[in-house]
Structure 1
Amino acid sequence: MTSRLISANLLLGLAPIALVIAAWQGLVSFGFAPATLLPPPGYVFSRLLQQLVSWTFQQEIAATLVRLFAGFAIAVVLGVSIGIAAAANPAINAVVRPIVRVLAPLPKVALYPALLLLLGFGHGSKITLVTADALFPILLSTYYGASTVEQKLIWSAMAAGTSRYEILFRVILPAAMPSILTGCRIGLVISCIVVFLAEMITSTDGLGHALVTAARTFQAVDMFVPLITISLLGLILNALLGAVRSYLLRGFPEA
């Protein structure tokens, strides 16, 4: 029964992708879009396979992944730490709440020119931008999860003589883990978008840079390859994080 359910979910997940590819092919085949601007999907995927075995393209992927993982990891550490601290301490909450209300709605890409002036055109400015964008979903999810922990669990732990430090890591953090991991999945998707956008704006390497370079030389096929690559990377990373979530939350009914 479980294997059938997984197979059905897999088919349902693949169906929209297949429809998009079919619509793409239809636009080209029936002449709604010129092949010079919208190449057939077969050409794009064939070029993708060629590029994946190319050392130059592998370096572009590696540069993007370094920025993505570094920014996302920093966002996770900061978001979880600040979220739990704000939920556990009213004084910290009073400081963090107005900052989050002001900065969370702000489009962080608007700060990118300032980051370029401060940190330069290398990894630093892009990692910082990824961190800034991924931070708030993780922080807010952590704060919500930690704030909604049942008070009776904390009282029971205190009655058993558990220290505040142990309550934090043995009661609050495990209880908030579903919400934290949900925030991490949202932050990961945002990280993929932001790192690609930052590389498009200004970079000498990375998938975003590869797309802009192909567009400037009117190489339509090579322009679509980085787009599909970042989409596949996001899909794979999201699936891996989903597997980690299922493993960590195997005792939770919703996992």
Structure 2
Amino acid sequence: MTSRALSTDVLLGLLPIALLIALWQGLVSFELAPVALLPPPGLVFSRLLQQLVTFSFQQEIIATLFRLFTGFLIAVALGVGVGMVAAASPAINATVRPLVRVLAPLPKVALYPALLLLLGFGHESKIALVAADALFPILLSTYYGASTVEQKLIWSAMAAGTPRREILLKVVLPAAMPSILTGCRIGLVISCIVVFLAEMITSTDGLGHVLITAARTFQAVDMFVPLITISLLGLILNALLQAARSYLLRGFPEA
């Protein structure tokens, strides 16, 4: 992708965000929404900049990122591992498929009370919820990518003397990487949503806890600060994952 095309994509991506902020400002300026509930964007972003340089708010961000990354990495490890093995083994596929069909549509937040009883109110229950929610998009994308690898690639590797036990890692995994990374991007978005939700339900720290604390004291400006922060974190993490995707798939035509 050329620098000119990249700049065009960035501008097109920023346009809807600018329009959203303009709509927000318009609602406030024309008094279509009460300022007590919808403060001006300038006031919110000013408060955000003030909070970002404080140690306490940085600690809240670190707590959220720790839960997010830990749960997401667990989901990646399990999703890629199970998906690859299920694609390679009909027996394991027959075992895993019914579980996926039953558990994938289930709202994982419904399991959160049970996770709280089992793992407590600390990091563990929130990490488990993030991992459970992000697991299935990654697992299904991995399984689909590994199942659709062209057979001639496997035959060529076998003809070149590649041991059968190494074909999964040296042939199937690289060929399935575009699909795996797509599942990871979906899983990352889900992780951002779920960790924030879990912190809102029960937590003593994290961005979700900041929002609930502000809501309980009717601090509308402070309510918007964690919302914008988690949105910016998601935007940054998605951009980093896209950069990693472009690097890992630099040999693929679509990358």
TM-score over 0.5 for the pair: yes
Q: Report the Cα offset of residue 192 of structure 1.
A: 0.1
**Structure 2 counterpart of 1:231:** 231
Gapped runs of 5+ residues in structure 2? none
**Structure 2 counterpart of 1:97:** 97
> Which of 188-197 and 166-175 deviates more?
166-175
User: Which aligned pairs between 1:1-255 and structure 2 lie closer than 5 A?
Assistant: 2-255=2-255
3-state SS of 1:71 partner: helix
> Which of 1-10 and 138-147 deviates more?
1-10
Q: Report the Cα offset of residue 169 of structure 1.
A: 1.1
How many angstroms apart in 1 are the aligned matches of 2:166 and 2:100? Answer: 27
Gapped runs of 5+ residues in structure 1? none
3-state SS of 2:3 partner: helix
How many angstroms apart in 2 are the aligned matches of 1:106 and 1:118? Answer: 19
How many angstroms apart in 1 are the aligned matches of 2:51 and 2:174? Answer: 43
How many angstroms apart in 1 are the aligned matches of 2:240 and 2:165? Answer: 31
How many angstroms apart in 2 are the aligned matches of 1:37 and 1:91? Answer: 56
Identity rate of aligned residues, in percent? 84
Q: Report the Cα offset of residue 165 of structure 1.
A: 2.1
TM-score (norm 2): 0.99
Q: Report the Cα offset of residue 252 of structure 1.
A: 0.3
3-state SS of 1:205 partner: coil
Runs of 4+ in structure 1 off by over 3 angstroms are: none
Letter in 2 for 1:211: L
How many angstroms apart in 1 are the aligned matches of 2:166 and 2:81? Answer: 15
TM-score (norm 1): 0.99
> Which of 38-47 and 151-160 deviates more?
151-160
How many angstroms apart in 2 are the aligned matches of 1:158 and 1:99? Answer: 33
How many angstroms apart in 2 are the aligned matches of 1:69 and 1:252? Answer: 27
Matched positions, count: 255
Q: Report the Cα offset of residue 160 of structure 1.
A: 2.1
How many angstroms apart in 1 are the aligned matches of 2:177 and 2:164? Answer: 18
The Cα offsets for residues 134-187 of structure 1, whole Å up to 9 and x where unpaired, read as: 000000000000000000111111122211222111100000000000000000
Q: Report the Cα offset of residue 95 of structure 1.
A: 0.4
The Cα offsets for residues 99-122 of structure 1, whole Å up to 9 and x where unpaired, read as: 000000000000000000110000
The Cα offsets for residues 26-47 of structure 1, whole Å up to 9 and x where unpaired, read as: 0000000011110000000000
RMSD between aligned residues: 0.7
How many angstroms apart in 1 are the aligned matches of 2:164 and 2:189? Answer: 34
How many angstroms apart in 2 are the aligned matches of 1:2 and 1:240? Answer: 18
How many angstroms apart in 1 are the aligned matches of 2:254 and 2:14? Answer: 23
Letter in 2 for 1:226: P
How many angstroms apart in 2 are the aligned matches of 1:165 and 1:174? Answer: 15
How many angstroms apart in 2 are the aligned matches of 1:152 and 1:135? Answer: 30
